[in-house]
Amino acid sequence: MSDVEHAAEHHEALTSSQYIQHHLTNLTYGQLPDGTWTFAANAAEAKSMGFWAVNVDTMGWSLVLATVFFLIFRSVAKKITSDVPTGAQNAVEMAVEFVEENVKGMFPYKNKMVAPMALTIFVWVFLMNAMDLFAIDLLPEIAKWIGVQMGANPHEVFFKVVPSTDPNITLGMAFCVFILILWYSITQKGPIGFIKELTMHPFSSKNVVIQTFFIPFNLILELPGLIAKPVSLGLRLFGNLYAGEIVFILLAIMYGAGYVFASFAGLLQIFWALFHLLIIYLQALIFMILTIVYMSLSYQTDEGH
């Protein structure tokens, strides 16, 4: 292929479907079937890289936002004052008090880890969700420009900026919560108590023979409920933010359909962004609250089940 043809291919405009697909594809690094370690040029290559591939954009932004969360709260904690507080101190204190009230109301047990974990979940998920408020093409275009300077095809430079639209992040966090649920269920109730919880409910009988007969049925009913906790926790967050991202992408496509559609899209985008502020907050709140509730359930004894 000549340099002219190569350049033309690089600057070829994307169709609407290609534009959507491009925005929904992660910047993935991994090993191709031929043994080469590289960035995936398309979704098919990313899929062929298998389990050990890394979505660099998702991982990068989640770590950046975790660092932002840490630095802000650390800075406020070091400069906290009883005099007239700064705006940052007010915001941090409001977040801490809000989470503390929720933990006290839903977790009537002693565990010094639950409140800090709930605060981390709430703020971190909120920050990840809030990345959806950036202009849909702003950061991806910057990434594309950097990629072109490095000799990459701009259509092969993917850059998703909302970590919570990646199920790897949402299900990963939910799985970590699930591990804690199992750990505290076993340590607080004992291995036997945890097994009884799965095998003695919802059907029970004082007759040993009948209760033994009920065990497999109880297990079949209880195990899906236990496994559904992390799955629903992760997929709920992913689904809501992914749907919101789709709407922003569709509105961005309308800008290229003429002045009338562009004006209409601009108006819709303002309303959707305002509504999306509620989604951003609610999804962070729901993830935190369900985590607290699940942790509380892991402490409940058989009598309180």
Active site residues per annotation: 232, 236, 240
Q: What 3-state DSSP class applies to 1?
A: coil
Question: Which residues are paired to 38 by β-bridges?
Answer: 30
Q: Give just the sign of the alpha carbon dihedral 71, 77, 79, 83.
A: positive
Q: Is 95 within 8 Å of 69 (Cβ atoms)?
A: no
**Cross-strand pairs, 54:** 29
Element (H, E) at 39: strand 37-39
- Cβ atoms of residues 218 and 199 within 8 Å: yes
Residue pair 165/140 in contact by the 8 Å Cβ criterion = no
Strands 37-39 and 54-55: unpaired
Residue from 288, 157, 180, 173 nearest 238 by CA: 173
- Residues with Cβ within 8 Å of 10's Cβ and at least 6 positions away in sequence, in order, are 148, 153, 154, 155
